[in-house]
Amino acid sequence: MSTSTRVSTSMPERVAERDRSRRRTRLAVGLCLVVVASLAAGTGWLLLGSSVFGVETVDVTGTQRLGPDQVRDQAAIERGTPLARLDADGIVERLRELPAVRAVELTRDWPSTVVIRVTERQPAAVQPRGRDWALVDRTGVVFGTVARRPRGLPRISAPVTEGAPALRATLDVLDALPPPVRDQVREVRAASLERVTLRLSRGRTVEWGSAERPDRKAAVLTVLLGRRARVYDVSAPDSPTTTHR
């Protein structure tokens, strides 16, 4: 005959054990939070406060007229500056102050490189500036001068002020012309939006008239140039004329 003994736990003991378990859980959670906070603080210091991820190299791409060193000087990025703390917007704004820069993109190449991608303005025409030639892009911005007139760029005679109506008229005309016709243009003159004239190769002249309907006028002129003439008048493109004077 066997006997068994049942050990029972009193209510106060069960309550005490539950409290101890809760304390252990809170302690474990607290330790985890401390570890996470320490890691976050350490990471933040590495990224923002130390030179471990600081700038060592500034790569410049896309430049032709500008030199890479000129771009770096304008960007004014101090060596050792943490990549995460770079004022990218401020750097881009400084670079846009360079007349030859049309657009710029800055990226961080971790752990220590800044990449600056520059898109330069492209000349659409030139205008005399004393003994030099001013380079004018499609939007009317003067972004540089050269000592010799570049081949293939027409001369424009209009006020070179960004957004000036007469200047924009000359550029709109050039933009409307197909390449075979544009290659024949030596000069575009615009005293006003209503008085635009083109001087072509071999002493020919085009009376363009107003800046309105440029695509239609360009299409008509392309056909008229198949005729021998000294003056091509497309100011009224629906009734163009040619003159042999």
List pLDDT tens digits, range 153-195: 999 988 655 557 888 889 999 999 999 999 999 999 998 888 9
What was the pLDDT predicted at 38?
44
What is the separation of C-alpha 229 from the centre of its chain, rounded to a whole number of angstroms?
44
Per-residue pLDDT tens over the stretch 73-113: 999 999 989 998 899 999 999 999 999 999 999 999 988 99
DSSP code at position 82? B
What are the structure tokens assigned to 200, written together?
Answer: 């072509």
> Is pLDDT larger for residue 106 or for residue 4?
106
Buried b (16+ CB within 10 A) or exposed e, 63-78: bebbeeeebeebbebe
Helix (H) / strand (E) element for 117: namely strand 113-120
What are the structure tokens assigned to 146, written together?
Answer: 């050269």
What is the pTM (predicted TM-score) of this model? 0.71
DSSP for 31-79? HHHHHHHHHHHHHHIIIIISSTTB--EEEEES-SSS-HHHHHHHHTPPT
> Does residue 215 sit in helix, strand or coil?
helix
Phi, psi dihedrals of residue 67, rounded to the nearest 5° = -90, 150
